[in-house]
Amino acid sequence: MAETNSQTLEESTNTIKKDSETLIDGNLLIAQALVRAGVKCMFGVVGIPVTSLANRAVSLGIRFIAFHNEQSAGYAASAYGYLTGSPGVLLTVSGPGCVHGLAGLSNSAINTWPMVMISGSCDQKDFGKGDFQELDQISAVKPFVKFSTKVTHISEIPNHVYDVINQAVVGRPGGCYLDIPSDVLHQTISESDATKLLNTAESCKIHEPKGTLGTLEIEKAVSLLRNAKRPLIVFGKGAAFARAENSLKTLVERTGIPFLPTPMGKGLLPDTHELAATAARSLAIGQCDVAVVVGARLNWLLHFGEPPKWSKDVKFVLIDVSKEEIELRKPCIGLVGDAKRVLDMINVEIKDDPFSLGKSHPWVEAISKKAKENVSRMEMQLAKDVVPFNFLTPMKIIRDAILAEGNPAPILVSEGANTMDVGRAVLVQTEPRTRLDAGTWGTMGVGLGYCIAAAVASPDRLVVAVEGDSGFGFSAMEVETLVRYQLPVVVIVFNNGGIYGGDRRNPEEISGLYKDDPAPTSFVPGAAYHTLIEAFGGKGYLVGTPKELESALAESFSARKPTVINVTIDPYAGSESGRMQHKN
């Protein structure tokens, strides 16, 4: 009751008449600044002291998507920033709410996606006394943000809001943090003064620094490509964020160079393109002599650009918005700048003196031959309808259903161990920014947050999540959020009874005081995940045969309503990720 009364009082003081001039409080001023800064959507969990801020934002036209926990809301905000190019905004309460939001901020930082977390905090005069949910939040967020700031007076709000929004996208995108003490939210200012502050802040917007890339560096890169015997173009989600797909298409088709996308780079050029080297990945990276890497880092996903996966003699042309990243990797040639802009400069240079490898080039033929062999081998495996399901049979059915949707292609969300690994090989991306997965940090639990972000960012597209049962469990309660907002999301859970497939212990590992407990990798066998969404009014399916899965997909894709399809998988069908086995 005390919280309700406090909230009512808070709402009633948003606008106050005093001496014939209207006063507004910090909640309304923040909402006004966010609107002016171009924010269209916020994700979060409301409570003390930010409930009124959320309500004010909604009243001014900002959509607020309320979650069950800040972790999933933070993942949604990070993915929204990637999909739209504008910072996703997360709103949290103080203390533990801020800490829970760090999951989204850290995910944003590692994936280099623009995001802003706004958290309420305790009254400034009570800090250090053990106030309600007290935390030094500026210190807590420091490892995960590129910029953070704290408002100490209502008059600072407009500038601080613009600062975090702008800093999130300038240079290499990332997470930013804004701390709003509860006493600032209740401070008031005249409407006329607020307008002046908003106008001043808007006029001081940070602009993207102009690149200094010269024609000499471009000429060197083109010369290196022109003289390469086995060139390769590699691109990642940085190129996707830069909307560089058309520039990449021009480069690939003008030069005839094979290309390899990273997992979330898939779709910038269709996986079905004749120069796609995805199915010949080991050959492509193991034998190329020049690799142009666009918007992707030479990290674990690309084996650090080092032998034995890469040739010891390979020369890298690294295109990245971050000068620091290029200095860290020390490529043969580093081109600092926005991926699209740099590629356009390369394309102009090539246009003036064109060259193309051609389909009969030995390197192109070798890549093409190997890719066709591997695809054929995979299709032979997929052709078998295995029941009880392995991972391949349902994945093929899902692939065909997604492809049948045509244009616009559904956005695919994928997380899990076996589920994500097999899906990466089987599922086909034909359009840019239509794949979201565990990403650079390998983050589990992103699935439902990503689904919600995708549905909000691209309302014309169906969203399809293909999840392991472990990954789904991290955020399963957010299926209620899907139903509440009636989002067109179909969640497909590969249910094999646990992490990697349940109890796989050796006999010598089953001993000790708690030998009768389930294995650390086990879940309840046959868990009825589909009934979870039914509890909230959504649609659930339990499937275990090809016909059942085909029917469920056809019905749910057509309905475009919140759905969970619980796919029973043989618990012995999966295995640990081949790339990660040596780490476990």
Domains of the chain, CATH where assigned: 23-204 (3.40.50.970), 215-368 (3.40.50.1220), 384-583 (3.40.50.970)
324: left (phi over 0), alpha (psi -120 to 50) or beta: alpha
Render pLDDT for 83-115 as a digit per residue (tens, 0 to 9).
999 999 999 999 999 999 999 999 999 999 999
For the chain, residues with pLDDT lower than 50 are 1-13, 578
Strand order, beta sheet including 88-92: 63-66, 41-44, 88-92, 115-121, 175-181, 147-150
> How would you label 348-373 residue by residue, b for 16+ Cβ within 10 Å and e otherwise?
ebbeeeeeebeeebebbebbbebbee
SS3 135: coil
Global pTM value: 0.93
Residue 102 pLDDT: 98
Render pLDDT for 273-289 as a digit per residue (tens, 0 to 9).
999 999 999 999 999 99
Torsions phi, psi for 64 (to 5 deg): -115, 120
Residue 566 pLDDT: 98
Render pLDDT for 498-511 as a digit per residue (tens, 0 to 9).
998 878 888 888 98
Residue 65 pLDDT: 98
Residue 10 pLDDT: 45
